[in-house]
Protein backbone atom coordinates (compact mmCIF):
# COMPACT_ATOMS: atom_id res chain seq x y z
CA UNK A 1 0.00 0.00 0.00
CA UNK A 2 1.28 3.55 -0.70
CA UNK A 3 2.90 5.15 2.34
CA UNK A 4 1.62 8.55 3.47
CA UNK A 5 3.75 10.72 5.74
CA UNK A 6 3.36 14.37 6.71
CA UNK A 7 6.51 16.46 6.56
CA UNK A 8 7.10 20.06 7.61
CA UNK A 9 6.01 22.09 10.62
CA UNK A 10 4.21 25.02 8.98
CA UNK A 11 1.83 24.29 6.08
CA UNK A 12 3.28 20.77 5.68
CA UNK A 13 3.57 18.59 2.61
CA UNK A 14 2.07 15.15 2.23
CA UNK A 15 4.91 12.84 1.15
CA UNK A 16 3.73 9.72 -0.71
CA UNK A 17 5.97 6.73 -1.41
CA UNK A 18 4.63 4.33 -4.06
CA UNK A 19 5.92 0.97 -5.19
CA UNK A 20 5.65 0.02 -8.84
CA UNK A 21 2.01 -0.62 -9.76
CA UNK A 22 0.56 1.27 -6.77
CA UNK A 23 -1.57 4.38 -7.18
CA UNK A 24 -3.42 7.07 -5.26
CA UNK A 25 -6.18 9.57 -5.94
CA UNK A 26 -5.92 13.18 -4.81
CA UNK A 27 -7.65 16.52 -5.18
CA UNK A 28 -7.05 18.44 -8.39
CA UNK A 29 -3.91 20.64 -8.24
CA UNK A 30 -2.65 18.80 -5.13
CA UNK A 31 0.53 17.53 -6.81
CA UNK A 32 3.60 19.66 -6.09
CA UNK A 33 6.40 17.31 -7.21
CA UNK A 34 6.70 13.76 -8.47
CA UNK A 35 9.49 11.55 -9.74
CA UNK A 36 9.49 10.60 -13.42
CA UNK A 37 8.67 6.98 -12.65
CA UNK A 38 5.13 8.18 -11.86
CA UNK A 39 2.29 9.09 -14.23
CA UNK A 40 -0.42 11.66 -13.47
CA UNK A 41 -3.84 11.55 -15.12
CA UNK A 42 -7.24 13.11 -14.49
CA UNK A 43 -10.16 10.88 -13.54
CA UNK A 44 -13.85 11.32 -12.81
CA UNK A 45 -14.10 9.01 -9.78
CA UNK A 46 -17.42 7.19 -9.46
CA UNK A 47 -18.93 8.50 -12.70
CA UNK A 48 -20.62 11.75 -13.67
CA UNK A 49 -23.25 11.99 -10.93
CA UNK A 50 -20.78 11.22 -8.13
CA UNK A 51 -18.38 13.81 -9.52
CA UNK A 52 -21.15 16.42 -9.50
CA UNK A 53 -22.28 15.44 -6.00
CA UNK A 54 -18.72 15.48 -4.61
CA UNK A 55 -18.34 18.95 -6.03
CA UNK A 56 -21.23 20.06 -3.79
CA UNK A 57 -20.19 17.84 -0.89
CA UNK A 58 -16.53 18.73 -0.41
CA UNK A 59 -15.84 21.56 -2.82
CA UNK A 60 -13.72 19.13 -4.83
CA UNK A 61 -12.85 19.70 -8.45
CA UNK A 62 -14.89 17.84 -11.05
CA UNK A 63 -11.85 15.71 -11.92
CA UNK A 64 -9.41 14.19 -9.44
CA UNK A 65 -5.72 13.54 -9.99
CA UNK A 66 -4.66 9.91 -10.25
CA UNK A 67 -0.96 9.21 -9.64
CA UNK A 68 0.44 5.76 -10.42
CA UNK A 69 3.93 4.26 -10.20
CA UNK A 70 4.22 2.98 -13.77
CA UNK A 71 7.96 2.70 -14.49
CA UNK A 72 9.18 1.80 -11.00
CA UNK A 73 9.01 2.94 -7.38
CA UNK A 74 8.62 6.68 -6.91
CA UNK A 75 7.79 9.49 -4.52
CA UNK A 76 5.60 12.56 -4.81
CA UNK A 77 4.73 15.59 -2.69
CA UNK A 78 1.16 16.84 -2.34
CA UNK A 79 -0.20 20.04 -0.82
CA UNK A 80 -3.76 20.74 0.40
CA UNK A 81 -5.87 23.69 -0.73
CA UNK A 82 -6.12 25.17 2.75
CA UNK A 83 -3.05 26.34 4.68
CA UNK A 84 -2.77 24.10 7.73
CA UNK A 85 -2.25 20.64 9.14
CA UNK A 86 -3.19 17.23 7.74
CA UNK A 87 -4.28 13.94 9.29
CA UNK A 88 -3.92 10.40 7.93
CA UNK A 89 -7.02 8.32 8.73
CA UNK A 90 -7.15 4.51 8.63
CA UNK A 91 -10.23 3.39 6.69
CA UNK A 92 -11.79 -0.05 7.09
CA UNK A 93 -13.54 -0.97 10.33
CA UNK A 94 -14.10 2.79 10.81
CA UNK A 95 -15.43 5.00 8.02
CA UNK A 96 -15.45 8.81 8.03
CA UNK A 97 -17.59 11.67 6.81
CA UNK A 98 -15.59 14.54 5.33
CA UNK A 99 -16.43 18.24 5.51
CA UNK A 100 -16.03 20.93 2.83
CA UNK A 101 -12.56 21.37 1.31
CA UNK A 102 -11.04 18.78 3.67
CA UNK A 103 -10.29 15.92 1.27
CA UNK A 104 -6.63 15.68 0.17
CA UNK A 105 -5.82 12.14 -1.01
CA UNK A 106 -6.64 8.45 -0.61
CA UNK A 107 -5.17 5.10 -1.48
CA UNK A 108 -6.89 3.32 -4.34
CA UNK A 109 -8.86 1.03 -2.02
CA UNK A 110 -10.74 4.02 -0.57
CA UNK A 111 -13.62 5.88 -2.22
CA UNK A 112 -15.20 9.11 -1.04
CA UNK A 113 -18.76 9.38 -2.27
CA UNK A 114 -21.47 11.97 -1.68
CA UNK A 115 -24.29 11.27 0.75
CA UNK A 116 -27.44 13.37 1.26
CA UNK A 117 -28.03 14.89 4.70
CA UNK A 118 -31.35 15.45 6.40
CA UNK A 119 -32.79 18.86 5.53
CA UNK A 120 -32.26 20.42 8.98
CA UNK A 121 -28.56 19.65 9.11
CA UNK A 122 -28.13 20.56 5.45
CA UNK A 123 -29.65 24.02 5.87
CA UNK A 124 -27.92 24.96 9.10
CA UNK A 125 -24.94 22.67 9.60
CA UNK A 126 -22.59 24.13 7.02
CA UNK A 127 -20.83 20.80 6.45
CA UNK A 128 -21.41 20.50 2.73
CA UNK A 129 -24.96 21.72 2.09
CA UNK A 130 -27.32 18.88 1.22
CA UNK A 131 -24.39 16.50 0.63
CA UNK A 132 -21.38 15.40 2.66
CA UNK A 133 -18.49 13.17 1.65
CA UNK A 134 -18.42 9.65 3.07
CA UNK A 135 -15.60 7.14 2.82
CA UNK A 136 -15.89 3.45 1.98
CA UNK A 137 -13.48 0.63 1.27
CA UNK A 138 -10.17 -0.09 2.96
CA UNK A 139 -6.89 1.81 3.07
CA UNK A 140 -5.96 5.35 4.13
CA UNK A 141 -7.57 8.76 3.66
CA UNK A 142 -5.83 12.10 4.18
CA UNK A 143 -7.78 15.18 5.29
CA UNK A 144 -6.66 18.74 5.96
CA UNK A 145 -7.82 21.57 8.19
CA UNK A 146 -7.36 25.33 8.20
CA UNK A 147 -4.72 25.86 10.91
CA UNK A 148 -3.87 23.17 13.47
CA UNK A 149 -5.74 19.87 13.82
CA UNK A 150 -7.03 18.23 17.00
CA UNK A 151 -8.76 14.87 17.53
CA UNK A 152 -11.75 14.60 19.89
CA UNK A 153 -13.21 11.38 21.29
CA UNK A 154 -16.99 11.31 21.65
CA UNK A 155 -18.47 8.75 24.08
CA UNK A 156 -22.04 7.93 25.13
CA UNK A 157 -21.32 9.72 28.40
CA UNK A 158 -19.85 12.82 26.73
CA UNK A 159 -21.56 14.52 23.80
CA UNK A 160 -19.57 17.24 22.05
CA UNK A 161 -20.76 20.54 20.55
CA UNK A 162 -18.59 21.94 17.74
CA UNK A 163 -18.76 25.09 15.64
CA UNK A 164 -19.42 23.69 12.16
CA UNK A 165 -16.74 25.87 10.55
CA UNK A 166 -14.07 23.96 12.49
CA UNK A 167 -15.16 20.41 11.60
CA UNK A 168 -12.80 18.47 9.32
CA UNK A 169 -14.05 14.85 9.50
CA UNK A 170 -15.93 12.54 11.83
CA UNK A 171 -16.63 8.85 12.42
CA UNK A 172 -19.64 8.08 10.24
CA UNK A 173 -21.23 6.02 13.05
CA UNK A 174 -21.67 9.19 15.13
CA UNK A 175 -24.99 11.01 15.20
CA UNK A 176 -24.95 14.76 14.56
CA UNK A 177 -27.68 17.34 14.79
CA UNK A 178 -28.13 21.09 14.78
CA UNK A 179 -27.61 22.43 18.29
CA UNK A 180 -26.95 25.68 20.12
CA UNK A 181 -24.41 26.72 22.74
CA UNK A 182 -27.05 27.70 25.30
CA UNK A 183 -29.40 25.88 27.61
CA UNK A 184 -32.28 23.73 26.39
CA UNK A 185 -34.74 25.69 28.54
CA UNK A 186 -34.78 28.60 26.06
CA UNK A 187 -36.28 26.62 23.21
CA UNK A 188 -35.06 26.43 19.63
CA UNK A 189 -35.86 30.03 18.62
CA UNK A 190 -34.33 31.49 21.78
CA UNK A 191 -31.21 29.41 21.33
CA UNK A 192 -30.83 30.45 17.70
CA UNK A 193 -31.16 34.14 18.63
CA UNK A 194 -28.65 33.74 21.45
CA UNK A 195 -26.24 31.88 19.15
CA UNK A 196 -26.28 34.83 16.78
CA UNK A 197 -25.73 37.27 19.66
CA UNK A 198 -22.81 35.22 21.02
CA UNK A 199 -21.10 35.13 17.62
CA UNK A 200 -21.03 31.35 17.48
CA UNK A 201 -23.78 30.95 14.88
CA UNK A 202 -25.15 27.42 14.46
CA UNK A 203 -23.22 24.50 15.91
CA UNK A 204 -23.48 20.72 15.64
CA UNK A 205 -23.85 18.26 18.52
CA UNK A 206 -22.19 14.87 18.09
CA UNK A 207 -23.28 11.86 20.10
CA UNK A 208 -22.46 8.16 20.19
CA UNK A 209 -18.93 6.77 20.19
CA UNK A 210 -16.23 7.81 17.76
CA UNK A 211 -13.71 10.39 16.69
CA UNK A 212 -14.14 13.94 15.39
CA UNK A 213 -11.28 15.84 13.73
CA UNK A 214 -11.40 19.63 14.19
CA UNK A 215 -9.20 22.50 13.00
CA UNK A 216 -8.17 25.64 14.88
CA UNK A 217 -9.36 28.17 12.30
CA UNK A 218 -12.85 28.57 10.89
CA UNK A 219 -12.84 27.56 7.22
CA UNK A 220 -15.39 30.26 6.41
CA UNK A 221 -12.67 32.78 7.28
CA UNK A 222 -10.34 31.40 4.62
CA UNK A 223 -11.39 33.92 1.95
CA UNK A 224 -10.86 36.76 4.42
CA UNK A 225 -7.41 35.38 5.21
CA UNK A 226 -6.61 35.02 1.50
CA UNK A 227 -7.80 38.54 0.77
CA UNK A 228 -5.48 39.87 3.46
CA UNK A 229 -2.53 37.96 1.98
CA UNK A 230 -3.31 39.41 -1.47
CA UNK A 231 -3.66 42.91 -0.07
CA UNK A 232 -7.42 43.05 -0.70
CA UNK A 233 -9.52 45.12 1.67
CA UNK A 234 -13.26 45.69 1.75
CA UNK A 235 -14.31 49.27 1.05
Look over the chain and give the mean of its residue pLDDT values, rounded to a whole number: 80
Measure Cα distances from 148 to 109, 119, 187, 213 in Å. 27, 30, 34, 10
pLDDT band at 34 (very low <50, low <70, confident <90, very high): very high
116-131 per-position pLDDT tens digit: 665 555 444 444 455 6
DSSP letter at 63 equals S
Q: Are the CB atoms for 225 and 187 separated by under 8 Å?
A: no
Provide the 3-class DSSP secondary structure of residue 120.
Answer: helix
In this prediction, residues 76-92 reach a mean pLDDT of: 94
State the pLDDT at residue 171: 97
State the pLDDT at residue 56: 53
Domain positions in the chain are: 3-218
Which pTM was predicted?
A: 0.79
State the pLDDT at residue 216: 93
Whole-angstrom distance, CA of residue 92 vs CA of residue 182:
37
189-216 per-position pLDDT tens digit: 555 555 454 444 568 889 999 999 999 9
11-21 per-position pLDDT tens digit: 899 999 999 99
The CATH H-level (homologous superfamily) assignment of domain 3-218 is Mitochondrial biogenesis AIM24 (3.60.160.10)
Amino acid sequence: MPQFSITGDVDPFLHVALRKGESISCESDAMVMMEDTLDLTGRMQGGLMQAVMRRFANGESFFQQHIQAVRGDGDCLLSPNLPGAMEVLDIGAVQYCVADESYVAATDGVQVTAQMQNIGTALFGGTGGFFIGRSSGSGQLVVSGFGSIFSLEVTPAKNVIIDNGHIVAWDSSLRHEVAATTSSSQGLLGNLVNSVKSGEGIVLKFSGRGRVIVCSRNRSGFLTWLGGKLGLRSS
